[in-house]
A and B are shown apart, each in its own frame.
Chain A
Amino acid sequence: MAIAADFLTPADLQKISNLQVLARLVVEGFCSGLHTSPHKGFSVEFREHRQYVTGDEIRRLDWKVYGKTDRLYIREYEEETNLRATLLVDVSGSMAYAGKNISKYSYAVHLAACLSYLMLRQQDSVGLVTFDQKVRQYIPPRSRPSHLRVLLDALQQTKTGGETELAKVFHQLVPKIHRRGLLIILSDCFGNVPELLSALAHFRHAHHEIIIFQIWDRDELDFPFRQWTRFDSLEMEEDKRLIDPVHLKSVYMESLEKFRADLKAGCHRHRIDLVPMTTDIPYAEALAYYLARRKKQI
């Protein structure tokens, strides 16, 4: 069953400033469309009652409560999870680029919020790292529902700025995330490709699974500029380049293709999932990709 959120683009959702509301809207809507319940695992400890919704298993109805209140409730248990996910959100200057849509940074933050919400709902542990040329914040993974509040607050407070130095940051992070788990990187991955790949390899070496949601703005892929343009760097103030985009589009496309091909080949080599996203793709698609990946992993 589809709900309104499925038809909302990230641009529309931009208006919702509260990340929790946004994340719930997206994730609940998304999940209600699934026939199989994402709630997997075995019960250890009773957690709470929840109203029955269509699609829940009938055997999990609490008949005692039904007998007392004449309402259908589901017994929910604290589930044991073996997934420790860490969201690595790139807040460097280059993520601040916004074309016609929302900025890549906003997109990354929203997506991170949605993912956190979704994962926490599934009793997965979720941690958060924000970084530019160094690690800004580090929140270790927890699975408590209240952890969501911590994550969302952290995301809300971040600001973009500084250069991207993914490789250095990742190398720094490896000893911090000592338990193996799933690393979800939300970044444009701009920078030196071989260095980045070596850092990722470092993660892989520590037995982390990695999904990279590479976030693009449509402008960066299409280069649609028609007049002389001065490109001012978002990361370094003094870096300004005056370019005639009409005549140099092909050259741009060439170097873009090369960059993407290099990155894709490197990720493939290290068995890293590289998922290119543009800021006009609904968050649900990213969530779907994550879930498919999650299912495979279990």
Chain B
Amino acid sequence: MNFLNIILLGGIVAASIPLIIHLFHKSHFQIIRWGAMHLLESLQRTQKRRLRLEQLLLLLVRCLIPAILALCMARPVLTGMRTLLGAAKTSVVVVLDNSYSMEVGAAERTTFVQARDSAGRIIHDLARGSELSVILMGGLPRPLLDEPTFNTERATRELGKLQTGYGAADVPASLEMAVSTLGKMHEAHREMIVLSDFQKISWAESEDVERARVANLIKNMPVKPLVMFIHTGQEDKNNVSVQSLDFSRFLLGVNQPFQVRAHLKNHGSSRYSSMRVFFRVDGTEKSVAQIELGPNESGQVLFTHTFDKAGSHVISVDTDVPDALKSDNVLLAAVPVWDKLPVLLVNGNPGRGPLEGETDFLEIALQPYNATKGSLADLITTRVVDQHHVDAHTVKDVRVVILANVQQLQDHQIKALEDFVRGGGGLMIFPGNRIDISWYNSRLSADGKGLLPRKFSTIEGGPEDNDPHAAILGQHQEHPAFQLFNDPRNGDLSTATIRLWYKLVEKQGTAKTNSGEFVMARLNTGDPFMIEKKYGEGSVIICSTPCSADWSNLPLRPFYLPLMQQLVTYLAAKFDPPRNIQVGLPLIAALPAALDGKTMELTDPGGKKHKLTAKNQGGRALLNFDDTRIPGLYLLELPDKSLIHFVVNTSRSESNLAQLTADEIKTAAKPFEATVVKSMDEYRQMEQRRRYGREIWRPLLWALLGLIFVELLLEQRVGGIKR
């Protein structure tokens, strides 16, 4: 118990006033010489009896009244046996959930705005000189200010600028960051305040272990902080989200039809009977579809579009459904549309007749319309050269280089190819009867450090019909270039007969150097059919059999054309860094080398402009931008005023807006020994109590009024004033 006006407590002395009056009256009596003594006899008997009980009670009540009044005015404070913080400085880390699920609610009062205001009030209420840090949960956890600050005004200012729409919350990582920040702070009283909507997804049981680890960190801290969970916002599960977009092609060319498959999910229990889904290209509505989604149902919508202009485009799929969370009703994708995709075919064995050359089938497969003089345009343009013409100049403008049955190359050619792949280019190597295995295995492999993923070993199988043959293993394909064939309508890879193939082996004892190697497909003999190897920014794909019809009937199978197209576009797509990235990952733009050293402007979804300077790397100018916490569209303006679109996407896991129940929050809070607070008012009351205790003058005042009333009743009873 403490008192705010301890001096006024002296007024408690006033309790003695009624007692003094009583004693004074008793000792300062008047003397009357009286005749009617016989009438006083009963008085004295009654007086003796009453004085014992009622008058003592009355006296007590009268003594209590000034005592309680004094107590009231002294403003007593209940402290519950603890020492009060008072205006002591504290070190506070506010963990603020700014993930996109916090956008639930009306525009001006979203859950995030509430949480932000709450954080603002917490900061405002801090004692002078308190140390403060704010950790933001959304996307990748990060502190609002670089270092813990004493400048609450600055923190408030920064907080005011905060926008929501950051990626999904990573709770354990955020809490861990908060713990490490707390560890660096100085005050003896430390607090960790978590402001979140306690979404089931982010606080899932599956992360219990992770959270328990953080809780353990807190327990082991030398100065244990007070942990508080403040639940913000109301649960509203009615939410529909555009989950993902699938494209039918890796690379899009001008006038090539492509398909976009949008996956939508209804996370709530409402039924949306005629939900409209819009497909927009560069902001212009191109088509609308209707879809029905029942409770917890998923649906797909397919859109088809043909770009008539090369360059960077952005497509979006959005729905106008009136749900709780608007930000996940739209999904963007940046789509670079290529005018041409130049491919260099290096023919190691030119044939005399039609289709006898090593690359003849490949050329047709890559340029089918050109070969058939069709009306549609081919994306891929091929140029066939012999092995002597491979040099830095010829590979400069192409995206993919294919070596078909090339015997061997000069060192400068290898260097040109290495630079090309390292800079993001794609290289495909098909063997054949003319290749110099020892050269390949020594110079091109270079003990696993070179371009060749694996070494060529023996030739397996045999040319005769009764020799053992192989086929491509018809299994579920993991590699993106092969995934097309998981749908049997696109062709059956296992129908090809491979009579001869090279066995591809790793060098003994050098398994570790082969990291980044991926077996794309296997033969039914167990030997690899195709292997991909990352090399610098680009990739190298090696096939165990030639691309011509000499050793197999691959080129005669219907899947040959789509397979080759897929492989080339897959490799070409690698040429450019991805335009669609996840929140928090760096955004990289690969630009022509001419732009090296130039400064360009990148506009983020919030409209903020960032100046970036391109740096030369692998023959190209690269731009790097790390601050991709906000999902959405980023626009890079090149010096020639053309735009490159980048889309930063966040995981849609938070679209399921189910929140933890009060009990579940308590369970989640248990390992942290955290106090769960339901509202800001409750927090402030708690904080007030913790700092200054609980004031009890109000109940005391009621008690005082009650006593006055009791005094009145007793007075009437004892005095016998009957009206």
A-to-B contact residues, CB < 8 Å: 93-97, 104, 188, 190-191, 217, 220, 225, 227-236, 239, 241-244, 246-252, 254-256, 259
Q: State whether B722 touches A190 (Cβ < 8 A).
A: no
The answer to whether A227 and B38 have CB atoms under 8 Å apart is: no
Q: A191-B38, A251-B43, A255-B43 are in contact. Are A227 and B29 (CB under 8 A)?
A: yes
- Contact check, B32 vs A229: say whether CB atoms are below 8 A apart: yes
| Contact A235–B37 (Cβ < 8 Å) | yes
Q: Which residues of B contact A239 (CB under 8 A)?
A: 37
Question: A105: shortest Cβ distance to chain B, in Å?
Answer: 10
User: In whole angstroms, what is the CA distance A54 to B51 when docked?
Assistant: 66
Report the bound CA distance from A256 to B42 in whole Å: 10
Q: Which residue of A lies closest to B715 (CB)?
A: A247
Interface size for B (C-beta < 8 A) is 28
Check B28–A234 contact: CB distance below 8 A: no
Interchain CA distance A230-B25 in the complex, whole Å: 11
Answer yes or no: B26 CB below 8 A from chain A CBs: yes
Assuming the A-B contacts A247-B55, A248-B47, A251-B43, are A97 and B34 also in contact, with contact meaning beta carbons closer than 8 angstroms in the complex? yes
* Nearest chain A CB to B599 CB, angstrom units: 99
Q: Mark B496-529, 1 if CB is under 8 A from A, else 0.
A: 0000000000000000000000000000000000
Contacting A94 at CB < 8 Å: which of B25, B29, B35, B40?
A: B35
Shortest C-beta distance, B133 to chain A (Å), equals 69
Contact of B26 with A234 in the complex, beta carbons under 8 Å: no
Is there contact, CB below 8 Å, between B30 and A228? Answer: yes
Known contacts: A231-B40, A248-B46. The answer to whether A190 contacts B31 by CB under 8 A is no
Report the separation of the CA atoms of residues A259 and B43 in the bound assembly, to the nearest whole angstrom: 14
Which residue of chain A has its CB nearest to the CB of B37? Answer: A233
Task: Give the nearest-CB partner of A254 in chain B.
Answer: B42
A234 with B43: CB separation less than 8 A: no
Q: Which of B17-41 contact A (CB under 8 A)?
A: 25-26, 28-41
With known contacts A241-B44, A249-B720, A251-B46, A220–B36 Cβ distance under 8 A: yes
- Could you jot down 14 A-B contacts, CB within 8 Å? A93-B35, A94-B35, A94-B37, A96-B35, A227-B28, A229-B29, A232-B32, A239-B37, A241-B44, A242-B26, A248-B720, A252-B43, A255-B41, A259-B38
Quick check: A225 and B25 within 8 Å, CB to CB? Answer: no
Chain A hits for B720, CB < 8 A: 247-251
Question: Does B718 contact A231, Cβ atoms closer than 8 Å?
Answer: no
Please measure, in the bound complex, the distance between the C-alpha atom of A225 and the C-alpha atom of B42, giving whole angstroms. Answer: 17
Q: How far is the CB of A233 from chain B (nearest CB, A)?
A: 5
- Checking B35, B50, B718 against A97 with a beta-carbon cut-off of 8 angstroms, the contacting residue is B35
| Bound Cα distance A247, B31 (Å) | 17
B719 at the interface (CB under 8 A from A): yes
Q: Kindly list chain B residues whose C-beta atoms are within 8 Å of the C-beta of A234.
A: 33-35
CA gap between A104 and B47 in the complex, in Å:
28
Complex CA–CA separation, A297 to B32 (angstroms): 42
CB of A233 within 8 A of CB of B34, answer yes
In the complex, which of the residues B28, B34, B42, B43 has the most CB atoms of chain A within 10 Å of its own CB atom? Answer: B34
Contact A247/B29 with A94-B35, A190-B38, A231-B37 known, Cβ cut-off 8 Å:
no
Determine the chain B residues whose CB is within 8 A of the CB of A231 once the complex forms.
32-34, 37, 40
- With A95-B35, A231-B33 given, name 9 new contacts (CB 8 A): A227-B30, A228-B29, A228-B30, A233-B34, A239-B37, A241-B44, A247-B720, A254-B42, A255-B41
In order of increasing CB-CB distance, the 3 nearest A-B pairs are A94-B35, A250-B720, A228-B29
Rounded to whole Å, the gap between the CB of B29 and the closest CB of chain A is 4
In the complex, A93→B47 CA distance in Å? 26
A104, A191, A231, A243, most chain B CB atoms within 10 A: A231
A107 to chain B, nearest CB (A): 13
Most buried by A among B40, B55, B719: B40
Contact between B30 and A252 (Cβ–Cβ < 8 Å)? no
Closest partner residue, chain B, to A240 (CB atom) = B31
Nearest-CB distance from B508 to chain A (Å)?
A: 116
User: Which residues of B from 370 to 426 have beta carbons under 8 Å from A?
Assistant: none
Complex Cα distance A284/B489, Å? Answer: 141
B residues 41-97 in Cβ contact with A at 8 Å: 41-44, 46-47, 50, 55
CA distance A256 to B484 in the complex (A): 119
Hey, which bits of chain B sit against chain A, CB under 8 A? 25-26, 28-44, 46-47, 50, 55, 718-722
Give, as a whole number of angstroms, the nearest-CB distance from B712 to chain A: 14
B40 touching A243, Cβ below 8 Å: yes
- Which residue from B32, B33, B42 sits with its C-beta under 8 Å from A251? B42
Give CA–CA (A65, B719) in the complex, Å: 73
Closest to B34 in A: A231
CB of B400 to closest CB in A, whole Å:
114
Would you give the shortest CB distance from B82 to chain A, in whole angstroms? 48
Nearest CB in chain B: distance from A213 CB, A: 16
Contact A232 B31 (CB under 8 A): yes
Instruction: Give B519 Cβ to nearest chain A Cβ, in Å.
Output: 109
Shortest distance between the CB of B56 and any CB in chain A (Å): 12
Contact: A188 with B30, CB < 8 Å? no
**Chain A residues, CB < 8 A from B719:** 246-247, 249-250
Residues on B with beta carbons closer than 8 Å to the beta carbon of A233: 33-35, 37
B236 CB, nearest partner CB in chain A, Å = 69
Q: Name the A residues within 8 Å of B26 (CB-CB).
A: 228, 242, 244
Residue of B nearest to A245 (CB): B43
Residues of A with C-beta under 8 A to B30: 225, 227-230
A161 → chain B closest CB, angstroms: 12
Instruction: Among A95, A217, A233, find the residue whose CB has the most chain B CB atoms closer than 10 A.
Output: A233
CB-defined contacts of B32 to chain A, threshold 8 Å = 225, 229-232
A220's closest neighbor in chain B, by CB?
Answer: B36
Residues on B with beta carbons closer than 8 Å to the beta carbon of A241:
37, 40, 43-44
A188 B35 Cβ-Cβ under 8 A: yes
Chain B neighbourhood of A244, CB < 8 A: 25-26, 47
Pick the most buried of A95, A243, A247: most chain B CB atoms within 10 A of its CB: A247
B46 pairs with A230, CB closer than 8 A: no
Q: Find the B residue at minimum CB distance from A192.
A: B38
How long is the Cα–Cα vector from A259 to B33 in the complex, in angstroms?
A: 20
Contact B722 A250 (CB under 8 A): yes
Which residue on chain A has the smallest CB distance to residue B30? Answer: A229
Give which listed residue, A97, A190, A243, contacts B44 with CB less than 8 A.
A243
A198 CA to B38 CA in the complex, in Å?
A: 19
- Nearest chain A residue, comparing its CB with the CB of B51: A244
Asked whether, in the complex, the Cβ of A97 is within 8 Å of the Cβ of B25, the reply is no
Residue of A nearest to B28 (CB): A228
| CB < 8 Å neighbour of B43 from A95, A217, A235, A243 | A243
Interface centre among A228, A232, A254, A259 (most CB of B within 10 A): A228
- Which chain A positions have C-beta within 8 A of B42? 251, 254-255
Q: Write out the residue numbers on chain B whose beta carbons fall within 8 Å of the beta carbon of A246.
A: 719
Q: A residues within 8 A CB of B40?
A: 231, 241, 243, 252
B540 CB to nearest A CB, Å: 113
Residues of A within 8 Å of B36, CB to CB, are 94, 97, 188, 190, 220, 256
B718 and A247 within 8 A (CB): yes
A247 proximity list for chain B (CB < 8 A) = 47, 50, 55, 718-720
Most buried by A among B26, B29, B50, B719: B29
Q: Could you say which of B29, B32, B35, B37 has the most chain A C-beta atoms within 10 Å of its C-beta?
A: B35
Docked pose: A244 CA to B21 CA in angstroms: 13
A239 to B719, CA, bound (A): 25
